[in-house]
Amino acid sequence: MSAVKEKESANLIAPIGADSFSPVPLDDLLACPACGGDLSSAQNTTEGDFRCDNCAAEYPGITMPDGSTVPWLFVHPDAAFAEWGDRYNRLMHETRDETASYVNALGGDVSSLTRARLERHGTALEAFTGQLEELLEPFDLRRRTTENLARQQLSKAQTVTSYMANVFRDWAWGAEEMHASAEVLNELICQTSLDDLGTMLTLGAGPGALPFLLERSQNVARSIKLDINPLFARIHAAMQAGEAVDLYEFPFAPLDESNTAVLRRLQASNLTDQNCGECGGGYVLGDISDLPFRAGAFDTVLTPWLIDILPQPVDRWLVTVNRLLQPGGAWIFTGSTSFVSDDPVLRFSPEEFFERAQAFGFTIEASDYSTLPYLHSPASAHRRYERVVSFVATRTGECADVSGVKADRSAPVPATTAMQFACSNYMLRAQILGAVNGKRSISEIAAAIAHRYELDGDAALQIVEQILNQHGE
């Protein structure tokens, strides 16, 4: 790979000898997340780039700067855009407030060391805001907030900057960690009869470094990654295209005052010196609870650090992985098996997890327990080692679908994405319509909404007018 070119001062993304873009065929893999029907590239549609052959639902594709398309395959695409727009705008608001707090602190009686730290951190925060804005520009999230403003409904959901440490680990300073994880999997694969991973799907792919390494050490025809976070998809596209991305890291526990904010350059050459684009790879954005893939579409499914953190029961995910794989396909698991559940029966040990996998149509071919470094940022004093469970299993049988079991009426109702969106939508409408008393003006109602939800005045005014117009104002 060629050396990093000097970037323009106004551009945080620099090309470094990227290969020309070649689209990855997806039509034989995708399914409608709403009904499960076959999904294909849309032609002559009103809005979408992908269309369901069964229910005619349409889904957009987001064009990345390198020309690749990231399918936006959520059951309710507009709701998902609104949620991510809300998270993005909230992040921008909070980051600007935090930046202002550093500027204000400089007005106090502080030492020269403290002043230098405050200035450095405040400047980095301001730059970080601009970096995120440029990175996420293809998604146009700034304009995506519409009526989904009840932010308390999203407080427990993943934010734009969730798992930012993983971004820097994958593409800036974590080559040793990522190669250690990949080597464990490569050794396990060597212990099996697998000589070709074929079409591989990575669920919960994050920034994508682990599948990136496997693509270069194993025979992989196509490598598809899925995650819910648009920032991960954008960074993956940049790495796949051979670009370099400058981004500030704010370590959790800085080693010293010079490490409170560190400018990193994310690029694939930090991870490996092998060329980009050797294997056809693509990214899909969607909710893992409503996967947009056809049954039996994949030869290999990789689940890194995923299944133990999902809210659904383990048995459901065993069914899901089984369904995605062709007969004889491989499931590659790596990560923690610290299953968290209110039900003590479901707090499986690794041995119980293996037993459940075998009961759902898998044969464990090889397994490993390794202690590996985890998030060892060179700028942070906070680091740890994890005992990681890894295995390669073969799909040797089918299993019953447990997702259709009648719901327990005494159990809590799950706070699904669709449910959260509907709730916030109705709450906001009720608050705006309830404020109409024949005395308040549109401007007064908008000012109250802006204050409650930390919006700027223009955005609040637009939303209030939209809702009132829908109800005949």
- Which tokens in the block code for residue 331? 């499931």
Given a cut of 50, whether residue 45 has pLDDT beyond it is no
Q: Span 62-81, mean pLDDT?
A: 93
pLDDT classification of 153: cutoffs 50, 70, 90: very low
Over the stretch 412-438, which tens digit does the pLDDT of each residue have? 776 655 455 556 666 788 888 888 988
The answer to which of 170-179, 328-337, 376-385, 424-433 has the lowest mean pLDDT is: 424-433
Domain topology for 1-398: Rossmann fold (3.40.50)
Q: Span 107-112, mean pLDDT?
A: 93
Q: How far is CA 399 from CA 100, 357, 358, 392, in A?
A: 56, 10, 10, 18
Local structure of 234: helix, strand or coil = helix
The answer to which of 121-135, 152-166, 287-301, 353-367 has the lowest mean pLDDT is: 152-166
**What is the C-alpha to C-alpha distance for residues 201 and 293, in angstroms, rounded to an integer?**
10
Ranges of H-type helices in 142-219: 164-168, 175-190, 209-217
pLDDT of 399 reads 83
Given a cut of 80, whether residue 409 has pLDDT beyond it is no
**What is the C-alpha to C-alpha distance for residues 19 and 117, in angstroms, rounded to an integer?**
40
Contact by Cβ (8 Å): 285, 71: yes
pLDDT of 86 reads 87
Q: Span 234-256, mean pLDDT?
A: 95
Q: Span 73-80, mean pLDDT?
A: 92
Over the stretch 375-407, which tens digit does the pLDDT of each residue have? 999 999 999 999 999 999 999 998 876 554 444
pLDDT of 150 reads 42
pLDDT of 267 reads 96
Q: What is the DSSP letter of 173?
A: I
Over the stretch 435-466, which tens digit does the pLDDT of each residue have? 898 889 999 888 888 877 777 777 788 788 87
What ranges do the domains of the chain cover? 1-398, 417-470
Contact by Cβ (8 Å): 16, 4: yes
Q: How far is CA 232 from CA 41, 164, 316, 343, 464, in A?
A: 23, 9, 26, 33, 33
Percent above pLDDT 90 for the chain: 62
Q: Which residue has the higher pLDDT, 179 or 459?
A: 179
Strands 325-335 and 298-304: parallel
Report which of 138, 167, 142, 12 is spatially closest to residue 65, judged by C-alpha positions.
138
The answer to which of 11-20, 86-95, 278-287 has the lowest mean pLDDT is: 11-20
Q: Span 230-243, mean pLDDT?
A: 95
pLDDT classification of 276: cutoffs 50, 70, 90: low
Contact by Cβ (8 Å): 199, 300: yes
Q: Which residue has the higher pLDDT, 313 or 134?
A: 134
pLDDT of 420 reads 58
pLDDT of 464 reads 85
Q: Span 165-187, mean pLDDT?
A: 97
pLDDT of 404 reads 47
Over the stretch 189-225, which tens digit does the pLDDT of each residue have? 999 999 999 999 999 999 999 999 999 999 999 999 9
Give the position of tokens 């075998």.
Answer: 358
**What is the C-alpha to C-alpha distance for residues 149 and 426, in angstroms, rounded to an integer?**
10
Q: How far is CA 368 from the centre of its chain?
A: 27
pLDDT of 410 reads 65
Given a cut of 50, whether residue 37 has pLDDT beyond it is yes
pLDDT of 152 reads 34
Given a cut of 90, whether residue 302 has pLDDT beyond it is yes
Predicted model pTM: 0.81
Give the position of tokens 């925060």.
Answer: 125
Give the position of tokens 């459901």.
Answer: 316
Q: Span 318-326, mean pLDDT?
A: 96
Report which of 42, 46, 17 is spatially closest to residue 27, judged by C-alpha positions.
42
pLDDT of 347 reads 86
Average pLDDT, the chain: 86
pLDDT of 279 reads 54
